[in-house]
A and B are shown apart, each in its own frame.
Chain A
Amino acid sequence: MRKILRFRGADIRPEREAVLKRQGVPKSAASKYEALLSEALDLLTEVSVPVAVVREISSEEFAQVFQGEQRNDSPNPLEAVFPRASTLALFGATLGPAVCAKIAALFDAGDYASWYMLDAAASLGAEALAKLLQAGFRSRCAAEGRLAAGEAALCYSPGYCGWHISGQTRLFSALGLVEIGMTLRPSFLMEPLKSVSGVIVCGESGVHVFDDVFEFCAECRHHTCRERIAGVGREHGNA
């Protein structure tokens, strides 16, 4: 079933510490940027209009979406993860165009510190929105008795971990994201920029565990998969 979900700006307000960490600011220096940070978070809350489309999808249908334009790296982790999932849902979500316009306006006005602070907060806000969808889908499956104890939900997105970004085309088409104002450029870039998309995979927590030893991992700067996988473990008291 396809659902359009709307949220409040306050729902996607990121942790203060995370916004500063994103800019390389350590905890010990955080107090210096309190005013700047508060201003950015308030602005984000005020101008964001978070909206999402979520659609549950069968493993077979997802295999078609995932295949995209046949440009995925192989092997990749998701091709091993999704066939073992108990349930899957595609999602696309955006904070809306106003926040992107505000970020651009701050830069144009020369308010560089505010510009960068709001941009960092909005990027984390988009990630928070994906996490909300992930938690919501997991809760729904659990409430419907479709999730066994120990099962965890985790999002995967085109453009990461070997899922080629061209996979966005089929994903957008399967979700009908135009209805919530999301479009795709020929380079597969989402507009508005502060948007997220992908698949929520529910399954045994072990399903999500993989080592970062794929060919493309060597070029990855962040290896955030480690933290994500550790998060799944923590959720189930395994960390």
Chain B
Amino acid sequence: MGMLEDIARFLEEGDEDNVSASTQAALKLGLAPKEILERGLIAGMNVVGERFREREIFLPDVLMAAKAMTAGLEHLTPLLAEGGVVAKGKVVIGTVSGDLHDIGKNLVAIMLKGAGFEVVDLGKDISPQAFVDAAVKEKAGFIGMSALLTTTMPVMKDVVALARKNELLRKVKIVIGGAPVSEEYAREIGADLYAFDAASAVDRVRAAADR
């Protein structure tokens, strides 16, 4: 079995030590960082995502794999940046102001990273202006917002309105999710995408990025 397949397999097993060691070994052998990322780490995460969707494995397995991916990325990220390799897309993500529930947002961030996206996690309790400023500064392709309360959900509308007014964010896609949020609400406030859960957030962002 090849080294890249080993990395993918170790990642699927959530074996962070071996992912780290194999990634270093692959670099020493002269494999390109981009190849290790795509055919090793992301390939492994794709299998994890697929098995999760098929209910062959469960959330703790996905999270262990994500940690293993981080271990591999630590070696690759500086080299990818040096080589000018770009991520599949950049997502600025956060929980809207007034809301401190970040579980869903964190899951989405973890899974997006696993799918090869660059994620700028603004954290929780984020104001509309902070979302927009960060999206401009980071030249983000996506703004991701989460809210768990009906009282904080309207902040999403403010973010959408503010982003739509900004000429620099003409192409940005806005994705929203959270317990009280619905597809209908996303349409109502002018968001581009609605995600029912973390896995569907990744699917929808990936599909939009590929378009």
Residues of A within 8 A of B (CB): 23-26, 29, 33, 36, 107, 110-113, 115-117, 119, 159, 165-166, 185-189, 191, 193, 219, 221
Q: Is the CB of B58 within 8 A of A188?
A: no
Does B100 belong to the interface (CB within 8 Å)? yes
Known contacts A110-B70, A112-B63: A25-B98 contact under CB 8 Å: no
Which listed residue (B59, B66, B100, B149) contacts A159, Cβ 8 A? B149
Known contacts A112-B110, A117-B60: A187-B152 contact under CB 8 Å: yes
User: Chain A's nearest CB lies how many Å from the CB of B49?
Assistant: 15
Q: How far is the CA of A36 from the CA of B99 in the complex (A)?
A: 28
Residue in B58, B152, B180 whose Cβ sees the most chain A Cβ within 10 Å: B58
Q: How far is the CA of A119 from the CA of B110 in the complex (A)?
A: 16
Q: Is the CB of A113 within 8 A of B149?
A: no
Q: Is the CB of A116 within 8 A of B149?
A: no
B31-85: which residues lie under 8 A (CB-CB) from chain A? 58-60, 63-64, 66-67, 70
Q: How far is the CA of A117 from the CA of B182 in the complex (A)?
A: 27
List 9 contacting pairs A-B, 8 Å CB cutoff, sorted by A: A25-B60, A29-B58, A110-B67, A111-B67, A112-B63, A159-B149, A159-B150, A166-B151, A219-B180
Does B25 belong to the interface (CB within 8 Å)? no
Q: Is the CB of A116 within 8 A of B59?
A: yes
Does B139 belong to the interface (CB within 8 Å)? no
User: Chain B's nearest CB lies how many Å from the CB of A199?
Assistant: 20
Q: Is the CB of B151 within 8 A of A187?
A: yes
Q: Is the CB of B58 within 8 A of A23?
A: yes
Minimum-distance CB pairs A-B, first 6? A187-B98, A112-B63, A113-B63, A25-B58, A187-B151, A113-B60
Residues of A within 8 A of B152 (CB): 187, 189
**On chain B, which size bracket covers the interface?**
20 to 34
Q: Is the CB of A187 within 8 A of B149?
A: yes
Does B101 belong to the interface (CB within 8 Å)? yes
Known contacts A24-B59, A219-B180: A187-B99 contact under CB 8 Å: yes
User: Chain A's nearest CB lies how many Å from the CB of B64?
Assistant: 5
Q: Is the CB of A165 within 8 A of B100?
A: no
Q: How far is the CA of A153 from the CA of B151 in the complex (A)?
A: 29
Residue in A111, A159, A189 whose Cβ sees the most chain B Cβ within 10 Å: A189
Q: Is the CB of A193 within 8 A of B150?
A: no
Which listed residue (A116, A185, A221) contacts B98, Cβ 8 A? A185
User: Chain A's nearest CB lies how many Å from the CB of B104?
Assistant: 11
Q: Is the CB of B151 within 8 A of A25?
A: no
Q: Is the CB of A116 within 8 A of B63?
A: yes
Q: How far is the CA of A166 from the CA of B179 in the complex (A)?
A: 18
User: Chain A's nearest CB lies how many Å from the CB of B133?
Assistant: 21
User: Chain A's nearest CB lies how many Å from the CB of B124?
Assistant: 10
Residue in A36, A107, A113 whose Cβ sees the most chain B Cβ within 10 Å: A113
Q: Is the CB of B149 within 8 A of A36?
A: no
Which listed residue (A24, A189, A193) contacts B58, Cβ 8 A? A24
Q: How far is the CA of A93 from the CA of B41 in the complex (A)?
A: 44
Does B103 belong to the interface (CB within 8 Å)? yes
User: Chain A's nearest CB lies how many Å from the CB of B11?
Assistant: 13
Q: How far is the CA of A185 from the CA of B103 in the complex (A)?
A: 18
Residues of A within 8 A of B63 (CB): 112-113, 115-116
Q: Is the CB of A25 within 8 A of B70?
A: no
Which listed residue (B67, B106, B150, B179) contacts A113, Cβ 8 A? B67
Q: How far is the CA of A111 from the CA of B99 in the complex (A)?
A: 23
Residues of B within 8 A of A166 (CB): 151
User: Chain B's nearest CB lies how many Å from the CB of A167?
Assistant: 11
Known contacts A107-B106, A113-B64: A165-B59 contact under CB 8 Å: no
Q: How far is the CA of A221 from the CA of B99 in the complex (A)?
A: 19
Q: Is the CB of B98 within 8 A of A112?
A: no
Residues of A within 8 A of B14 (CB): 113
User: Chain A's nearest CB lies how many Å from the CB of B193?
Assistant: 19
Residues of B within 8 A of A221 (CB): 179
Q: How far is the CA of A166 from the CA of B150 in the complex (A)?
A: 10
Q: Is the CB of B106 within 8 A of A23?
A: no
